[in-house]
Each structure stands twice: as C-alpha cells, then as structure tokens.
Amino acid sequence: MKKIWFLGFGFFSISLGWSLYNGFVPFFLDNYITSTALIGFLMTIDNYFALFLQPYIGNRSDRTSTRFGRRMPYLLIGLPITALFYGLIPFHTSLLTLIIFMVCMNLSMAIFRSPTISLMPDITPEPERTKANGVINFMGGCGGILAFSAGSFLFSMEESLPFLVVSIIFLVALVVVFKNIKENQDAIPFPISTTPKINYKVELNTPTVFLLAAIFFWFMAIQGMEALFTLYGVNELGLSKGASAFSLAFFSLSFVLSAIPSGLLGANFGKKKVILIGIIGLFFVFFLLNWVESVFSLRAILLAGGMFWACININSYPYIISLGSEHSFGTRTGLYYLVSSLAAIISPPALGFLIDLFGFGILFNATAGSMLFALVCMLKVKTTSTSTESILPPNV
C-alpha cells in the first residue's frame, strides 16, 4: 500500500492538471470564440489523441522491457514535455498559439496516461485492486479539489499562476514515482506479451463489450458536464467565473471522501453492484440539478454527485481489468481510454450544440439521459462462473 500511495501522487498531478485545464481553458477560448459548440470541440483535443494513441501505447507498454520497467519509460518521456507546454498555455498570444500549446500538451499527455494507469494492476494483486484504485483516486480527487479551490484563487490573482504551479507539480510527481517505485522489483512477475497487435476477438468478449458501452455513456455525461459546467454556472446561474469553478470543488471533495469507501464496498459486495448504485444515484443528481435555485442547493447536490461518481469510477477500471488476462493490462487500459475518450470527443461539442439551440437548461437533461443508457448497458454485463470476480470470496 505504501507503493500505491506513491503512485497516487502521479494520479494527483494528472487529476490536478486536467481539472484545472477543463475549468479554465474554456475562458481562454471564450475570448476568441462565440460558439459554445466550437469551444466544446476544442476542449476534446486530448481525446482525439487518446482515441488513436492510448490503445497502441497501452498495448506497446505490455510488450516493453527495459531496465526501468515496461511502463516507466513512457512517464520519463511524456511528463516533462507535458509540464513544458502546460505552463505555456496561459502565455498564448492568439487563438493559433493557444491551440498549438493545447495540442502539444495533449499529445505529450497521451504518451504516459495508459502506462501510468497500468502500473496499478502491475504492482497490485487482484483482490486488492479496488482498494488500491480507491487510494489512487483519493489522491486524484485531492488534485481536483486543489484545482477548483486553490486554483480558482490563484487564477483570480494572475491567470498564468495556477498553470505554472501545476507544471512544477508534474515534475515533482515524476521524481516521486520514479524514486519510490522500482518497477522491475515491485511489479508482480507477469509474462511479457509478445503479441504484436491487440487480439480483439479475445479482449472484446461479450461482458467487456457491454461494460465498455456503459463506460461510454457515463463518460458522455461526466465529460460534458465537466467541460461546460463553468460556462453553465456563469450563463445560467449568474455565478462569477471563480464561484462557478469553485462549485465543482464540492463534487471533487465528495469524490475524495468516497473514493476509499467505494473501493472497500466494491471489494466486499462486488464491483458491478456498487457501479449500479452509482449510476442510479448519478441519474437522480443530474435530474435534480435542473431545479437548483441557489448556490447552496447546487453545491449540496454536487456533493451527492461526487459520492455516486466514486462508486462508478473506483470500481469500473478494476472491473474491466478483471475480465481479461494478466498480460493484457496495458491493452485493456488502452481500450478503457479509447471508449472514454470517444465519449469525451462527442459529448462537449454535442452538448454545446444543444446549448446553442435550446440554452444552458438542456445540459443536465442530456446528462441524465446518458446515465439511463449506461444503466441499460451495465445490466447486460453478465459474467460466467469462471470470471475473476465470480470466483473470488465475498470479502474480495
């Protein structure tokens, strides 16, 4: 667990960076662009790279063997480049330079995301993975809280300041992970995959396909909400930019407090059951957000939303890993990001288009509908008696 906490610091930096990016980059784009749909489209640049690169890089990391391990080389290359271009974003001088910095940052981020995620199952036995995922997502949630609280404060002082601070944290996280996780010593001794390409017939079994579909729909809701919430708060609720971004900190706070308990619940009662509870709860959260009339009720509902999102997010990655073999962790991580990235590509511009047509009031109706589709798909995930989750004892 000590190693998991160190790995969690890497997740902390990634979550901090993405939360700050999603919260404040739309304001930079809003200075040049009037269409919410186009802003939503540009906020999905990272997902285009993830769509094509992350399944490939995840599969390639399964087949990598170096003196640093099979995942660590990708962190050593990708993180420093990400830190550089992340810090340059607020210093754009035009829409063109802003987009160039965004593209370069997102491209470098795609290099190390799948390998970083794959480190968790690499160093954690199956019975402990939901607990481990709870710990690293707890750290990631702390990053989200810091982005929307301290980040909002720094942004109000000087718009470049939070981006520069996060760039430094990226580099510190790399040092912490590299110094404390010796991959060739700490990883469970799995065989290195020699398969040159992803075997889709093996990996895309029926439970995996339905689980990936469910992942797609709940990320349609979450990614769209996160990308457009700050604009929603300003335009629909009349909040200031800082207050709108700070409201999302309540969602992240609840996620943090629920991360480890959600992992324990998944370990003791089954990942699927806890995920289903989260989907149903988040549907009602999005539905109720249509009726908020005060900042207090908005933030109270977002607190509940973070709890239910933890039930889903903490258990879904270990669940999809458990449906495959131990030498396909990177491949399945890539598929996980392929689907979530596809949702993130489609969701912000699609929701932005609906907002352009019907106004910001449509946002949470659409996200609630997406959660219903996720529920239908999740109910169709049937595992056999030989599946990993089914053969484990109840306390796992």
What CATH topology corresponds to 2-188+197-391?
Growth Hormone; Chain: A; (1.20.1250)
Cβ atoms of 186 and 123 closer than 8 Å: yes
Q: What is the pLDDT of residue 3?
A: 80
Query: How would you class 63 by CB atoms within 10 Å of its CB: exposed for 0-12, middle for 13-18, buried for 19 or more?
Result: middle
Which residues, in sequence order, are bridge partners of residue 69? 66
Cβ atoms of 19 and 306 closer than 8 Å: no
- Within 8 A by CB and 6+ apart from 332, the residues are 58, 203, 320, 321, 323, 324
pLDDT bracket for residue 392 (50, 70, 90): very low
Taking only the tens place, the pLDDT of each residue in 89-143 is 999 999 999 999 999 998 888 888 778 877 887 878 777 777 888 888 788 778 8
Query: How would you class 305 by CB atoms within 10 Å of its CB: exposed for 0-12, middle for 13-18, buried for 19 or more?
Result: buried
Query: How would you class 365 by CB atoms within 10 Å of its CB: exposed for 0-12, middle for 13-18, buried for 19 or more?
Result: middle
pTM summary value: 0.70
Which parts of the chain fold into alpha helices (H)?
2-30, 36-42, 45-62, 72-88, 95-123, 129-148, 150-157, 161-180, 183-186, 200-203, 206-235, 241-269, 271-288, 295-322, 329-358, 363-379, 388-391
Taking only the tens place, the pLDDT of each residue in 269-302 is 888 999 999 999 999 999 998 888 788 888 899 9
Query: Could you state, in order of their start, the residue ranges of all structural domains in the chain?
Result: 2-188+197-391
Residue 245 identity: A
Q: What is the pLDDT of residue 385?
A: 40
pLDDT bracket for residue 84 (50, 70, 90): very high
Lowest mean per-residue pLDDT among 18-32, 73-87, 192-206, 306-320: 192-206
Taking only the tens place, the pLDDT of each residue in 257-266 is 888 899 889 8
